[in-house]
Amino acid sequence: MKSDNYLITGASGFLGAKILKDLILKKIKVNGLDKNLLNNSLKKKIIRCDILDEKKLKKILPKYKNIIHLAAENSRSTYKKNKLKSHQVNVIGSENILKNLNKDQNFFFFSSCQVYDEFSKKIITEKTKTSTKDIYGKSKILTEKTIIKYAKEKGFNFCILRIFYVFGEGQNNEFLIPTLINQGFKNKTIEIWDQNSFRDLQYINDLSSNFQTVLLNKEKAFSKIINLGSGSRTSMKQVGKILSSKIKCNLFLKIKDKSVNCYTSMKFFEKTFNKKIKKTPLEKALNKTISYYLKS
């Protein structure tokens, strides 16, 4: 094992590719692992491997001091279509990694805000009880429990990060912000399904930068579950207004019986690392995202 090198699973994905690129820029020794390869220069840094292939993982994992585990079935539509396979990837795939770690390694896991009740009445903190009906959220809760079990058994360090909604350049079209932007361009109308809903939306560049704070201060992160978001309660009505005014299209605001209200405090993060989180103003981040989808 090299001194302080990193392996990012899911490195061809939206978050993985950005984190990999940023760590390379920081001259950190890092590789990616993914079942799919990217079609750009990051490709040569990524090892092709399916996390369901435990035999192959056994050979790769011991070469790395730090494992950042992002590989997962993250798409709700794929999850709905193939629940068993998706659950296998998220739960068994993660366990394949955990089984093959040793006491000298550090493990960072990207869990999700979906472990909490999306219709929470209050601001979410790390003390908020997990509660979800969502099968993807359940797969994250199960994996969190499995991490704690294996960390005790094998003695490796771990940190669980519960990530809130990320948006920005490179996100798959099926997710919330790209869907709204594409609606604006194609249909000339953005439809907000519930104007009374609130989410913690974080820009991908901020996520990557705040995650680097975790890596730079890993001793402080170990054995902790930490929420990672923007710390802001963003109204979907406000998002609709910003997007429609930039794209110069109509805005159609709807109302639902029950509104999503899912946003986190970042106080625990800031206290743990003694650092303010990086946060790009919403309008600026949305502008950059619109420009990306306009070009692509």
Ligand X SMILES: NC(=O)c1ccc[n+]([C@@H]2O[C@H](COP(=O)([O-])OP(=O)(O)OC[C@H]3O[C@@H](n4cnc5c(N)ncnc54)[C@H](O)[C@@H]3O)[C@@H](O)[C@H]2O)c1
User: Could you say whether residue 107 binds ligand X (CB under 6 A)?
Assistant: no
- Residue span binding ligand X (CB under 6 A) among the ranges 21-29, 50-58, 119-127, 238-246: 50-58
Q: Judged by CB under 6 A, does residue 166 bind ligand X? A: yes
Site membership for ligand X, residue 231 (CB under 6 A): no
Q: Which two tokens stand for residue 141?
A: 């809760």
Rank residues 49 and 249 by Cβ distance to ligand X and give the closer one. Answer: 49
Q: Does 239 bind ligand X (CB under 6 A)?
A: no
> Does the footprint of ligand X cover residue 168 (CB under 6 A)?
no
Does 288 bind ligand X (CB under 6 A)? Our answer is no
Considering the complex, what minimum distance in angstroms separates the CB of residue 137 from ligand X?
10
Closest CA to 184 of 96, 294, 282, 109: 294
Closest CB to ligand X: residue number: 13
Q: Judged by CB under 6 A, does residue 74 bind ligand X? A: yes
* 203 close to 168: Cβ distance less than 8 angstroms: yes
Q: Is 89 in the site for ligand X (CB under 6 A)?
A: yes
Which pair of structure tokens corresponds to residue 103? 């006491």
Least distance to ligand X, CB of residue 108, Å: 11
How many residues interact with ligand X (rule CB under 6 A)? Answer: 25
Per CB under 6 A, the list member of 23, 46, 61, 70 interacting with ligand X is 70
Q: Long-range contacts for 129-138 (Cβ within 8 Å, ≥24 apart)?
A: 135/79, 135/83, 135/86, 135/87, 136/73, 136/74, 136/76, 136/79, 136/86, 136/90, 136/112, 137/112
Tell me if 10 contacts ligand X by CB under 6 A. Answer: yes
Helix axes 282-295, 176-187, angle to 10 degrees: 60
Whichever of 251 and 261 has its CB closer to ligand X, that residue is 261
Gap between the Cα atoms of 137 and 127, Å rounded: 17
Quote the crossing angle between the two packed helices 204-216 and 14-25, to the nearest 10°. Answer: 60
| In contact, 238 and 285? CB cutoff 8 Å | no
Does 34 help bind ligand X (rule: CB under 6 A)? yes
CB of 265 to ligand X, least distance (A): 17
Report the C-alpha gap between 18 and 15 in whole angstroms: 5
Q: Is there binding between residue 203 and ligand X (CB under 6 A)? A: no
Structure tokens at 46: 């990524």
Binding flag, residue 71, ligand X (CB under 6 A)? yes
Question: What's the half-sphere exposure (Cβ side, CA atoms, 13 Å) at 117?
Answer: 11
Task: Identify which range of 95-103, 161-169, 180-188, 249-257 contacts ligand X by CB under 6 A.
Answer: 161-169
| Nearest residue to 229 via CA among 197, 260, 266 | 266
In the complex, least distance from residue 3 CB atom to ligand X, rounded to whole angstroms: 26
| Residue 54 near ligand X by CB under 6 A | no
State how far the alpha carbon of 34 is from the alpha carbons of 9, 20, 74, in Å. Answer: 6, 12, 14
Contacts of residue 186, defined as CB under 8 A and 6 or more positions apart, other chains included, come to none
Residue 16 as a binder of ligand X (CB under 6 A): the answer is: yes
- Least separation in angstroms between CB 15 and ligand X: 4
**Least distance in Å: CB of 160 to ligand X?**
11
Nearer to ligand X, 18 or 240 (CB): 18
Under rule CB under 6 A, residue 240 binds ligand X = no
* Binding positions for ligand X, rule: CB under 6 A: 10, 12-16, 34-36, 50-52, 70-74, 89, 93, 110, 112, 163, 165-166, 172
